[in-house]
Amino acid sequence: MDLGDQMQEGFCSMCPNGNCGVRLFWHIMHLIVSVRYFFLGLVNMFESFLISSGLLKRYETLNISKIQYLAIVIDSEEALQTLKVLNLLRWLAAIGLTNVCLYDKEGVLKRSEQEITERLKSEKRFKAPSLNCAVSGVKEITTSDSLLDQKCMNLEFISFSDGKAAVARAANFLFEKHYSSDNKKKPNFTEFDMAGALRAIGYVRPDPDLMLVYGPARCHLGFPAWRIRYTEIMHMGSLKSMKFGFLIKAIHRFTTVHQNYGK
């Protein structure tokens, strides 16, 4: 038996059902897609470097006034990387974003709230990887400012349990108001009724203008749905591979898109 016959026999042993052609085609397609994404990643990294260095002029100006409230959604496993989260918040503070909501489904960030806030309060000044960008509306961070100064950055920490508890309390409020009485006419609840119930129980939070999702999933991971009716959602990839240039690009893309609707 020559080498060719041995290779064929070995390959066929991997395909006992005679689907060798299909499996070979699948492996070839998988290789092509992997190579494509590898080179795409290299291009994105190079673009991020150019943005961070201030060499791409179209990213020099950011109208951050369009982002009154930013939501950062992180996969719970990646949320354990506290140093990465801190670095991301430093970048946001350097860009000039003042209101940020941090969310993960399991509440990892919420349990780390004290550690994160204490670390940021102790930092008086931070220089972003590139401040060559003339960011419109940015408040300069001086040596007398803390990153969590009231005028610099406000943080909100929430998890899936917060939204679940709010919905339960709002539903109980509507039940007691409309179903515990002798009124025979029972209303059909609408989104407006639910929003009113949430306000009545004191759950009043701003709706994010932009949501950045870090993690493998391309979804909001259970972020309270009633707060993202008009929110733009962008997937940013893994937290461990985050880049300052990617962040600038995402914010720039949002601020340059014309919106035909409003809140």
Higher pLDDT, 199 or 97: 97
Containing 216, the helix (H) or strand (E) segment is none
Selection from 154, 125, 123 nearest residue 140 by Cα: 125
**Tokens of residue 213, six digits:** 């999702």
Mean pLDDT of the 245-259 span: 87
Higher pLDDT, 122 or 68: 68
Check pLDDT > 50 for residue 195.
Answer: yes
C-alpha–C-alpha distance, residues 30 and 45, integer Å: 22
Mean pLDDT of the 57-80 span: 90
Tokens 């991301």, located at residue: 88
Q: How far is CA 124 from each of CA 133, 134, 137, 146, rounded to the nearest angstrom?
A: 21, 21, 20, 5
Average pLDDT, rounded, for the chain? 79
Mean pLDDT of the 174-192 span: 74
Mean pLDDT of the 86-103 span: 92
**pLDDT the model gives residue 139:** 41
Mean pLDDT of the 109-123 span: 89
Q: Where are the alpha helices (DSSP H) in 97-243?
A: 108-111, 113-121, 160-178, 191-200
Residue 135 contacts residue 64 (beta carbons within 8 Å): yes
Higher pLDDT, 242 or 138: 242
Check pLDDT > 80 for residue 90.
Answer: yes
**Tokens of residue 211, six digits:** 């949501």
Give the number of other CB atoms < 10 A from CB of residue 180. 8
Mean pLDDT of the 162-191 span: 78
Q: What is this structure's pTM?
A: 0.73
pLDDT band at residue 16 under the 50/70/90 scheme = low
**pLDDT the model gives residue 198:** 83
C-alpha–C-alpha distance, residues 242 and 237, integer Å: 7
Question: Quick one: 2 exposed, middle or buried, by C-beta within 10 A (0-12, 13-18, 19+)?
Answer: exposed
SS3 207: coil
**Tokens of residue 198, six digits:** 């949430």
Residue 117 contacts residue 89 (beta carbons within 8 Å): no
pLDDT band at residue 83 under the 50/70/90 scheme = very high
Higher pLDDT, 16 or 98: 98
**pLDDT the model gives residue 130:** 45
C-alpha–C-alpha distance, residues 25 and 15, integer Å: 13
**pLDDT the model gives residue 79:** 95
Containing 103, the helix (H) or strand (E) segment is strand 99-103
Mean pLDDT of the 211-227 span: 90
